[in-house]
């Protein structure tokens, strides 16, 4: 007899990341839980208009849910609103989809990490409050990589020397920041590295450099997988 990987009636706080239709009436529901990490659950019948979960399972909703079942796809059994859900509109909504997609692509299933849960919630709440979108996304990207063990060295160069705000660097993932001439291709100013480390940007040029740097870093860790949410940002992608 196959043992269930999930004891019955596990319960946790969660943020809904994504919902995908399954067959005629059901949903696959991707969630980020506080105590159990990222999960994919099956919600049977949730697409029926009168189903009790049909108005609860929405992206960025905060819920308290329970699940049970065998294998890789546990069954969602209960979901109740936990706190006021984050409400995003316009470009902030696209940013929310981007935040969720990074979690879906970079986090392993069933890997508990309360720090990432807090990071996701705080970032979504910042977007809801009207925080600057680009600086919020850059801060989220840096913090997420730190939480999953891929933190960037942003306050010292590859030789361990403090970053010079006026120096131009080439950032190599296997080494760190390497000083180059002012005309170095794909270079990034030390001031931008320090701004990323402190999550405080002085001007649009720093944000543009930070965006280009983080795009390259994430491309490496995504292993060539594209992000569908970026299509929503054209011509001003995240």
Q: What pLDDT does residue 44 have?
A: 87
Q: Which of 142, 122, 123 is nearest to 196 (CA)?
A: 142
In a domain, 210, yes or no: yes
Q: What pLDDT does residue 7 have?
A: 47
For the chain, what is the domain count? 2
55 — pLDDT class (breaks 50, 70, 90): confident
Asked if pLDDT for residue 4 goes beyond 50, the answer is no
Asked if pLDDT for residue 3 goes beyond 50, the answer is no
Q: What pLDDT does residue 53 have?
A: 76
Q: What pLDDT does residue 38 have?
A: 94
Asked if pLDDT for residue 132 goes beyond 80, the answer is yes
The side-by-side arrangement of strands in the sheet containing 176-180 is 176-180, 168-172, 188-189
Asked if pLDDT for residue 143 goes beyond 50, the answer is yes
Picking from 81, 98, 126, the residue at the C-terminal end of a domain is: 81
Task: Taking residues 79-107, report their average pLDDT.
Answer: 93
Picking from 29, 47, 81, the residue at the C-terminal end of a domain is: 81
In a domain, 94, yes or no: no
Report the C-alpha gap between 136 and 124 in whole angstroms. Answer: 9
Query: Which residues neighbour 189 within 8 Å (Cβ) at sequence distance 6 or greater?
Result: 165, 166, 167, 168, 169, 206, 209
231 — pLDDT class (breaks 50, 70, 90): confident
Report the C-alpha gap between 155 and 107 in whole angstroms. Answer: 26
Q: What pLDDT does residue 6 have?
A: 44
In a domain, 141, yes or no: no
CATH classification of the domain holding 49? 2.40.50.140
84 — pLDDT class (breaks 50, 70, 90): confident
In a domain, 177, yes or no: yes
- Residue 161: which domain range? 152-223
Asked if pLDDT for residue 83 goes beyond 90, the answer is no
Picking from 81, 107, 127, the residue at the C-terminal end of a domain is: 81
Asked if pLDDT for residue 237 goes beyond 90, the answer is no
Mean pLDDT, the chain, rounded, equals 89
139 — pLDDT class (breaks 50, 70, 90): very high
CATH classification of the domain holding 156? 1.20.1440.120
In a domain, 142, yes or no: no
């Amino acid at each position: 007899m196959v043992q269930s990987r999930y004891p019955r009636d596990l319960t946790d706080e969660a943020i809904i990341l994504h919902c995908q239709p399954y067959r005629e009436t059901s949903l696959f529901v991707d969630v980020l839980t506080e105590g159990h990490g990222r999960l994919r659950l099956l919600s049977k019948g949730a697409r029926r208009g009168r189903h009790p979960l049909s108005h609860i399972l929405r992206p960025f909703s905060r819920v308290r849910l329970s699940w049970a079942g065998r294998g890789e796809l546990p069954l969602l059994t209960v979901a109740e609103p936990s706190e006021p859900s984050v409400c995003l509109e316009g470009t902030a909504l696209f940013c929310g989809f981007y935040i969720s997609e990074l979690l879906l692509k970079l986090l392993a299933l069933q890997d508990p990490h309360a720090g990432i849960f807090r990071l996701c919630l705080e970032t979504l709440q910042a977007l809801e409050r009207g925080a600057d979108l680009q600086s919020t996304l850059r801060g989220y990207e840096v913090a997420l990589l730190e939480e999953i063990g891929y933190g960037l060295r942003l306050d010292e160069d590859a030789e361990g020397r403090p970053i010079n705000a006026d120096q131009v660097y080439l950032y190599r993932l296997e080494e760190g920041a390497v000083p180059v001439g002012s005309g170095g291709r794909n270079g990034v100013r030390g001031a931008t590295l320090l701004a990323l480390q402190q999550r405080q940007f002085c001007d649009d040029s720093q944000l543009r450099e930070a965006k280009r740097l983080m795009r390259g870093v994430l491309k490496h860790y995504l292993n060539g997988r594209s992000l569908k949410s970026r299509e929503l940002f054209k011509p001003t992608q995240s």
